[in-house]
Amino acid sequence: MREGHREALAQAITWVESTLPEHQERIAQLLEEVGTPALRSKRLGITGIPGAGKSTLIERFGMEAVQRGHKVAVLAIDPSSTRTKGALLGDKTRMHDLSMEPHAFVRPTSASGTLGGVARATAEAILLCEAAGFDMVLVETVGVGQSEVAVREMVDIFVLTLIGGAGDDVQGIKRGVVEMCDVLLIHKADGEHIPSCQKTAAAYRQALHLFPLPPSGTAAEVMLASSLTGEGHDKLWSHLMDLETAWRASGWWEVQRKTQAAQAMHRHAKQLLVDHHMHHRQAQWEALEQQLAQRNTGAFAAARAWVNEALKANEGNQS
């Protein structure tokens, strides 16, 4: 994987995506071997409303980054089937040129019910891509929703893509996502769509003045671009590089990385605790499910009973 073999990287990501308790030691050893990556890499999160052209944007932007001398990894988080847990869309088929590029790696991953627009092991997949020599990692989320801000905790710069003329310009998207973004990109700004895109951009510029300044100290920039014509891509690239330069100089870049690590530890602690007790207390869980189905208890009461029993068992083991 360190030598840049994409097949090895794909296998390593499959390893860290495993939820089986018996694989936890192997995952820990792999990530310990990888170590802490250098701060030289760039992590870019891209989200947007359905139909905003995220995949088209990433394909063109990724190819342009390769031409600028970067090695690009794309982690495309797809909506998942509630039955098979597999990915529904398969972004790799929509990024054909980038998928075939020797200096790029495209990995579609099922969200598998994980909230926040990212997969369970996205943060670890980023580390593995960096260890494999990819100095620019693009994370494409499932799509805009109430919980799409989870990716903000994993990337250095967060880009929100919108399109013009998609209904009420400002109310058509959740404020929580808007105030988290560093760049608000009005996409598909070409041909007859330019006037509506300009109108949408003006509406968001006005709305952003009402938001408090983000922790980075840099207000979000509203930009227009078209991945069909390439218009606006050079300006987008220049702005992203300017953000990186400014944030490295101010120390915000490193602050974000430290915060990301702490947040990842918090997420894993909660997930590992649930996985551990679910594995060892499966019988009690199934019994409570039966009580719930028979309406002998409520969902909150059943969950609380299961957690209390797990805590008692843990205290008993310690004593």
| pLDDT tier, 210 (very low <50, low <70, confident <90, very high otherwise) | confident
Asked whether the predicted pLDDT for residue 84 surpasses 50, the reply is no
From 13-22, 47-56, 115-124, 244-253, the region with the lowest mean pLDDT: 115-124
HSE (side-chain half, CA atoms, 13 Å) at 30: 24
| pLDDT tier, 11 (very low <50, low <70, confident <90, very high otherwise) | very high
Are 135 and 42 in contact by the 8 Å Cβ rule? The answer is yes
Q: What is the mean pLDDT of residues 158-165?
A: 88
pLDDT digits (tens, 9 = 90+) for 18-40: 877 788 888 888 888 887 766 68
Are 29 and 122 in contact by the 8 Å Cβ rule? The answer is no
Provide CB contacts within 8 A for 39, sequence distance 6+. 248, 253, 254, 257
Calculate the average pLDDT of the chain.
Answer: 83
Collapse the DSSP code of 227 into the 3-class scheme (helix H, G, I; strand E, B; otherwise coil) and give the result.
coil
Q: What does the pLDDT read at residue 201?
A: 92
From 80-84, 192-196, 241-245, 292-296, the region with the lowest mean pLDDT: 80-84
Return the CATH architecture of domain 6-250: 3-Layer(aba) Sandwich (3.40)
* Cα 256 from chain centroid (whole Å): 15
Asked whether the predicted pLDDT for residue 63 surpasses 60, the reply is yes
Query: What single-letter DSSP state applies at residue 292?
Result: H
> Which one of 84-93, 110-119, 151-160, 258-267 scores highest in mean pLDDT?
151-160
pLDDT digits (tens, 9 = 90+) for 89-103: 455 556 888 999 999
Q: What does the pLDDT read at residue 297?
A: 86
Check residues 146 and 315 and name the one with the higher pLDDT: 315
Calculated CA dihedral for residues 76, 79, 84, 85, nearest 10 degrees: 60
Question: What's the full length of the chain, in residues?
Answer: 319
For the chain, what are the domain ranges? 6-250, 265-318
Provide CB contacts within 8 A for 273, sequence distance 6+. none
Q: What is the mean pLDDT of residues 60-70?
A: 96
Asked whether the predicted pLDDT for residue 138 surpasses 90, the reply is yes
Beta bridge partners of 137: 43, 73
Asked whether the predicted pLDDT for residue 278 surpasses 50, the reply is yes
What is the Cα–Cα distance from 209 to 203, expressed in whole angstroms? Answer: 10
- Dihedral of CA 249/252/253/255: which sign? positive
Asked whether the predicted pLDDT for residue 168 surpasses 80, the reply is no
Q: What does the pLDDT read at residue 174?
A: 63
What is the Cα–Cα distance from 63 to 66, expressed in whole angstroms? Answer: 5
Q: What does the pLDDT read at residue 141?
A: 82
Asked whether the predicted pLDDT for residue 70 surpasses 90, the reply is yes
Asked whether the predicted pLDDT for residue 315 surpasses 80, the reply is no
Query: What is the pTM assigned to this prediction?
Result: 0.84
What is the Cα–Cα distance from 125 to 31, expressed in whole angstroms? Answer: 10
Q: What does the pLDDT read at residue 19?
A: 76
Query: What single-letter DSSP state applies at residue 155?
Result: -
